[in-house]
Structure formats: C-alpha cells, structure tokens
Chains A and B, each alone.
Chain A
Amino acid sequence: MEKVIEIKNLTKSYGNGRGISDINLDIYKGDIFGFLGPNGAGKTTAMKIMTGLVRPEHGDVKILGYSVTEQYEKAMAKVGCLIEIAESYHYLSAYDNLKQLARYYPGIDHSRIEEVLELTGMLRFKHEKPKKFSLGMKQRLGLAAAVLSRPKVVILDEPLNGLDVEGMIDIRKMIQNLAEKEETTFFISSHLIHDVELTCNRIGVIYNGKILNVESTSTILKNYATLENYFVSEVERNGRISSSAS
C-alpha cells in the first residue's frame, strides 16, 4: 500500500517536560487514522510539526514523499488541515476567508468555494463575518477551509469541537464520503472515543509523548468490547493508570 504520511523519529520537547519523543508512524492511502490520547499527550504538538507550524528537534515528516521541514510547499500542496481552534480573519466574510486560501491552489475557483460551503452547511452565512459566528460555525468554516483544495491528505485536530450532534453526524458523513469517493487520507485526533470508533479505520494511541500501539479498528473490536476498553488497557499496560481517556 502507498504510504501517504511517513513520520520518522519525531522528537520535540518543551521546557515543562511535555512534548513528543521518537514517534514513528506510517499512514497509508485511504486510511482514516484516529490519533487517540489524553490531554497533553503530544497530539497537537505532533500535528503542528506535521503542518509546519512547529519545527521538530529530530526526525522528519514526509507527506506524499516530500519532507515538511525541507520541501514545505510541495509537501503541503495536497494537504488540508485544521489545527486546534479553527482560525479565520474576523474582518473578512466567510466567503472571502476561503477566497484568500483558494489563491494558493491552482484550479480552486468560485464554484469550489460554494461547494465546500454547501458541504459544511455554511452557504447561507457566506457573506457574514466570522466575528458573529458561534464556535460550531467557526469549526464548520475551518473544516470547509481544510477540504477546500480537494486535498489528498486531511489533518484534523479535534474536528468535532463545538459541534452539535447534527453537526457531528454531518462531518462524520463528509469524512467517510471523501475517504470512499476521492480516496482522501485522514489524520484525525480526537478525545471523543466513541466518535473515533465510528469514524476511523486505524487507531494509534499516544501517551506521554510516545506512540503505544497502532492497530486497525476492526482488529481492536475483535479483541475488545469497545475502543474505550482497548484504550484503557493499552494505557495500563504501559505503566500508569489513566482514570479517563479524555
């Protein structure tokens, strides 16, 4: 199978002892990869490095064969992402926000912007400024921005943050749809274990900055009743008991 994301020996430590150390991961084409871990385990750090917001101390990330640290433009050409909070320029309308991004991708035009707005249910707010948006609406706009360029790889950090049930279902459908129809590869971090179970087909557990295990969802569900059981046992196996998999 074709490797889409290749993470090698990725290390980054912060002053407060947090960070990630020696992470190795391979994500294959068509994967909907779930990145599970408690708060502060290093999920966001890893994803920031993957999208070039933070430089690693050691190691590298290759997306579609291009190094993020060295060939950034090429590596990111077919990547869409949403890191932490969905940011937008609050003085530009939803449409203009997307138009700004569209300029970086050849072939992304007016109709595609409308399309992703429709896809995320934001079309009726296209001329409104995100200043007045709720957290959920901002999140939808952020997702629209992530998939705008018809990316081959989508990196999402807590994509369901702030969404209502309806929104969650919509987004989950969208992700599955894209994975099926366009063979888009997803890399999703989430604290909602149930949701990861429903959406993702491969799951990696990160704890204290280290990858504990990577397994396909179907294999996990064969051996464990739920994903939550698997997660707790994985964490326990590695020494400390985490009371919750938040």
Chain B
Amino acid sequence: MKLKKKTALLASFTMGALLLATTALADIASKSGYEELKDAIKLTAERGSEAFDSFTLDFSMAMKDNGKTLMSGNETKKFDRKTGATESLSSNVNLNGYTNSSQTYSDTKTMIRVSESDPTYYVTEFSKEREIESFNNPFKEEEAADVEKIIDAIVGSLKDHVVITEKDDGSKEINGSLTEVQIPALVNAVASFQLKQEFNGNHNQSNMPKLVKDVFVKQVTGTAKVNKDGVLESILGIAVLSGKDEQGAIHEISVDALITVTDINSTTVTKPDLTGKKVVRHLERDYSGSEISNPEKYLGKFKNDILIEKDGKFVKIGERIIDITHIDTIKVTGQYHEEFKPGFEEYATNTSELSFSAEFIKDQRGNANFEYTTKSGVKGQGNIYFDDYQGKINFNGMNTSYEGGLMFDSTFSPDLD
C-alpha cells in the first residue's frame, strides 16, 4: 500500500514532466505565423540588398471615409542593384483633392527629376561617381536586434492572431485580423488617440472629417504572400478607425496599404529619353568628400580690392593678388602681393609681397596652414581656405597693422578676365 502510493506519486510526477517537456519542445519548434512573417521580411530585405540583381517595389495606399476616397498614393520603385540605378514613379491625390505625379531616375552619375506640374526635366550630373547602394538592408543596422525584441514584446499575445496557410505550390499566405474585441483596450486607446490627433491636426481645408467623439480602432487586418523561396511577394494592411464628427455622424475611415515585390531579376531600369524635352542641367559638385574636387581649377590669379575710407567714401587704392602656382589634393604653393595705385605706394608694408607654401590638413576639406617668406626674408604663418561652394579663397595671417584706414578683406575672387 505504502509502496503503491509512492509509485503512484512518482508516476504522476513523471507523467506531468513528460507532458510538459514534450509539449514545450513542440511549442518551441513550431513557428508561429508571426515568426514566419518576420523571417519572410528579413529574407526579402536581405535578398533585396544582396542577391537580387533587380526588382520592382510597388507601394500604394488609400484612405477612405465611408468608402469615399480621401487620398491615395502610389509609388513604383525599380531597383537595379548591378548598375546602382533606380527609377521611381509616383502619383498622389492629396486630402485637398489635388493630384500630382512625378518621376525620378538616378544612377551613379546622374539624377533626373520631372513632375506633372512642371514638365521640365531637371538633370543633375555628379562630378564624381557616387557610390550608391540601391537598397539598404534595414536588418543589418546595429539597433535592429534590439528594436526587434521591443516590437516582439509590444506585439505580445497579438502574435497568435497571425495565421499561416500553405498552398500547394509551396507558397504561403499569412493572414492576421483583429477586431475591436481582440485589440487590447489600452493599445486601442493609445492608437486611436494618436490617429485622432494626426487626422485632426492641421488639415483645415481638407476633405478629412473631423472626428471628435467615440474614436476607436475598429479593425486591423493584414495579408502577406510569401513565394516558395520564402520571399515576400506582397503585403496588404487595412486599418479601420471609427468615430463621430461634430454633427454626430459616424465615419469609418479606412487606410489600406499595399506593398508588392515583383519582377525579381527581370526589372529593367531605363533612363528617360531627353531628346526634344525641356531640360535644365546642373553640375552637382561633391561637397561631401574630405578633399576638394578638381583642385587644378584653383590655378591662377585671385584678387580683391584694397579700400580705404576717405572723406566719407570708399576709395580703391589698389589690389591684393594671389597667384596659385601649384595645387593638388595635398599641397598648394603660390605668391601674394599688393599693387597700389600711383600716389598710394606708401601703404605698402613688408608683407605686401610674399610667397607661401602649405599642406592641406587631413580631413579638413580645402583648409591649409601655410608658411610664408617675404621679399626681405621674414618668415611667418597664415591660413588659406579654398571655398568650393563660393569658388573663392580665404587668405589670412599677415598680422599687419592696417594703418591709415585700410579696409581688411581676406576673401579673394578668381581673376578671370
């Protein structure tokens, strides 16, 4: 009897443990629809940035009030990872009912933009070939793993609402649907408040109804299609917000968003044909590098005027002239001298004629400290800065005392005459 009891207890405990262990293993092994969806998104992002040669992404969204379209937008983006070219076509109808559409093309050397409202093709040409990664994988960012954990925690038990159905051809459909009972009340409240603020914000003349009472999220549904390689083909999300306006009329505002990935490896990005079109070109200088581009353009003379103030007027008494004799990305040498008009020669000082030589400071674009030697052999130090943006030179350092009302000016413009 006693032994029997012990045996029974042991058996019962073992049974419980086994039940727990086997089910737990099964539970860990089984992938929820939510996990599958995450995997598909990650895989798609990874392939898009690393494996696919080309693909087309299509985004479209529409907002409707009781079935009447308030606004819509559509954007088609074509990526060619091999050439780095992308093309995007977008068309929108905004809340005020205005439509506009535009087209953008860009590759490593050019960017072309045209819109419906202004049929001019704006062409930007880059002085230096750009390094563009046509599609960045967001999951490679440093914070991605943490963000994912936070999202997992927020999604919480809603994960279980994601359902997966496998098709015969190996593709999968992932569905999720939440109605008002299923959305946690707190989430619903925060979301509806956010949306209400957003909608009622500053669209004074828009078609958007102003919701003032009983605002709540009525429904959220989502559908995603994953092809047999595990790549996301499309993802559709619909959210319905319900509320009453000042007159007490009920509005159901639905927002639909659809993203599709198509033409994997068969997308061709074509540069727009500009023949016969009105074209505005401009050269985009690259200001972002750590060295000035085409330094040889600075070879030659730069000058400014030497002014004094006399009898309440500015009077030009001569010119300061810099002559850059050598420049590359590392070094710059040249001469500086001042030429005075007859009658003002007495303004000349011992630094009125000197030669200088400088090395560019690393990672400080166009900035260099120089040493100079005057005609009489006195040495000194100064700073020169090549301003790519204005096309001018800043030249400083001769701590001359400008006596007799000489105006100080360190900016030199190119002497192109």
Contact = CB atoms under 8 A, between A and B. Distances in A.
Asked if A and B touch directly (CB within 8 angstroms), the answer is yes
A69 B6 CA distance: 13
B1 interface: yes
B277 interface: no
Contacts of B2: 69-70
Contacts of A69: 2
Contacts of B1: 70
Interface in A51-72: 69-70
Interface size class of B (residues with CB under 8 A): under 10
Interface size class of A (residues with CB under 8 A): under 10
Nearest to A67: B1
A199 to B, nearest CB: 36
A69 B1 CA distance: 10
A70 B2 CA distance: 7
Interface of A, secondary structure class, is: loop
Interface in B1-24: 1-2
Contacts of A70: 1-2
Nearest to A71: B1
B8 to A, nearest CB: 14
B309 to A, nearest CB: 103
A70 B1 CA distance: 7
A61 to B, nearest CB: 14
Nearest to B1: A70
B36 to A, nearest CB: 55
Interface string A68-86: 0110000000000000000
A55 to B, nearest CB: 9
B17 to A, nearest CB: 26
Nearest to B5: A70
A69 B5 CA distance: 12
A95 B6 CA distance: 39
A136 to B, nearest CB: 40
A180 B359 CA distance: 125
A243 to B, nearest CB: 42
A70 B4 CA distance: 11
A214 B53 CA distance: 103
B6 to A, nearest CB: 12
B1 to A, nearest CB: 5
B217 to A, nearest CB: 49
A15 B2 CA distance: 24
B7 to A, nearest CB: 15
A114 B2 CA distance: 40
Nearest to A55: B2
Nearest to B4: A70
A196 B1 CA distance: 38
B302 to A, nearest CB: 101
B9 to A, nearest CB: 15
A226 to B, nearest CB: 44
A83 B2 CA distance: 25
Nearest to A69: B2
A69 B2 CA distance: 8
A70 B6 CA distance: 13
A59 B375 CA distance: 123
B241 to A, nearest CB: 54
Interface in A64-122: 69-70
Interface string B285-305: 000000000000000000000
A149 to B, nearest CB: 25
B118 to A, nearest CB: 87
B255 to A, nearest CB: 60
A216 to B, nearest CB: 36
Interface string A18-37: 00000000000000000000
B5 to A, nearest CB: 9
A112 B1 CA distance: 36
B3 to A, nearest CB: 11
B301 to A, nearest CB: 106
B275 to A, nearest CB: 99
Interface of A: 69-70
Interface of B: 1-2
A-B pairs, top 3 by smallest CB distance, nearest first, are A70-B1, A70-B2, A69-B2
3 contacts: A69-B2, A70-B1, A70-B2
